[in-house]
A and B are shown apart, each in its own frame.
Chain A
């Protein structure tokens, strides 16, 4: 039980710091530390994400960063995709799903490294930047790093 709480806190802190969603951390934590199967870990992660996203959305809404109509459309119209994605996950073997997930987090790791290096190049103008390290010059820097 203590492991679950520790994973939650660690994933939350890292997510808040780096702008990475909780699921990317919940799933490996649940598989590697808690010993759930990949399918169980993904399903459990999804439920754990709900309170995190809810509190985040309420805060962001207070800052005026939520376009509510669009969020509602994206959220509600996701149903078909969600059903398809979950069905696909459950049609795959544990090994196949775990491998696909491993590839996903490798890609996210690569993205983090690229962003960190890009911020180093362009950080003259950038003091403590919110979330993804995105400031006014993000697109310029993005292009510059390519």
Chain B
């Protein structure tokens, strides 16, 4: 039943789009679990497919935000392009170390950021 499947994919796209547009993130937080739970993806395929979908989602969302005049293009490039190198290094490093302690440290960074944002 391809139509039911298409409907599920459309629902995932819509939910991820809402999430991405509202929060300025890619939407992987929404897409990955839904691909796993609804469509039986394994986690690797879900992550890979999610990344490819995010290229479109983030580009659309950035374009719409551009209409509102909120995008700082130079800042985005200065962050986004070095981040590509960072991701490649991070992925390489991940194969070579235990990341559990780092996860906890990073969770602490997120909590500190949240507090900072709430106090701002």
Residues of A within 8 A of B (CB): 1, 4-5, 7-24, 26-32, 34, 36, 38-57, 60-61, 63, 65-68, 70-90, 98-106, 108-110, 112-113, 115-116, 119-120, 123, 128, 130-134, 138
Q: In the assembled complex, how far is the CB of residue B41 from the closest CB belonging to chain A, in whole angstroms? A: 8
Q: In the assembled complex, how far is the CB of residue B44 from the closest CB belonging to chain A, in whole angstroms? A: 5
Q: Are A42 and B65 in contact, with the CB atoms below 8 A?
A: yes
Closest residue on chain A to residue B26 by CB atoms: A21
Q: How many residue pairs, one in A and one in B, have C-beta atoms under 8 Å apart?
A: 393
Q: Are B48 and A22 in contact, with the CB atoms below 8 A?
A: no
User: Which residues of A have CB within 8 Å of B57?
Assistant: 74-75, 78, 82
Q: Are B96 and A52 in contact, with the CB atoms below 8 A?
A: no
Instruction: Identify 12 residue pairs between A and B in the complex whose beta-carbon atoms are under 8 Å apart, listed by A's number.
Output: A13-B86, A13-B89, A22-B87, A53-B52, A67-B45, A70-B35, A73-B13, A80-B17, A81-B21, A113-B107, A128-B95, A130-B44
Query: CB-CB contacts of B1-42 with A at 8 A, as 1s and 0s?
Result: 000001001101111111111111111110100010001010
Q: Are B116 and A66 in contact, with the CB atoms below 8 A?
A: no
Q: Are A51 and B80 in contact, with the CB atoms below 8 A?
A: yes
Query: CB-CB contacts of B73-95 with A at 8 A, as 1s and 0s?
Result: 10111111111111111111111
User: Which residues of B have CB within 8 Å of A106?
Assistant: 110-111, 114
Q: Are B43 and A56 in contact, with the CB atoms below 8 A?
A: no
Q: In the assembled complex, how far is the CB of residue B47 from the closest CB belonging to chain A, in whole angstroms? A: 6
Which residue, of A52, A79, A82, has the highest number of chain B Cβ atoms within 10 A? A82
C-alpha spacing A86/B49, complex, angstroms: 23
Q: Are A53 and B54 in contact, with the CB atoms below 8 A?
A: yes
Q: In the assembled complex, how far is the CB of residue B104 from the closest CB belonging to chain A, in whole angstroms? A: 5
Of the candidates B9, B80, B84, the one whose C-beta lies within 8 Å of that of A74 is: B9
User: Which residues of A have CB within 8 Å of B87?
Assistant: 12-13, 15-16, 22, 52, 55-56
Closest residue on chain B to residue A88 by CB atoms: B22
Q: Are A23 and B103 in contact, with the CB atoms below 8 A?
A: no
Q: In the assembled complex, how far is the CB of residue A27 from the closest CB belonging to chain B, in whole angstroms? A: 5
Q: Are A82 and B97 in contact, with the CB atoms below 8 A?
A: no
Q: Are B81 and A51 in contact, with the CB atoms below 8 A?
A: yes
Q: Are A74 and B23 in contact, with the CB atoms below 8 A?
A: no
Q: In the assembled complex, how far is the CB of residue B31 from the closest CB belonging to chain A, in whole angstroms? A: 7
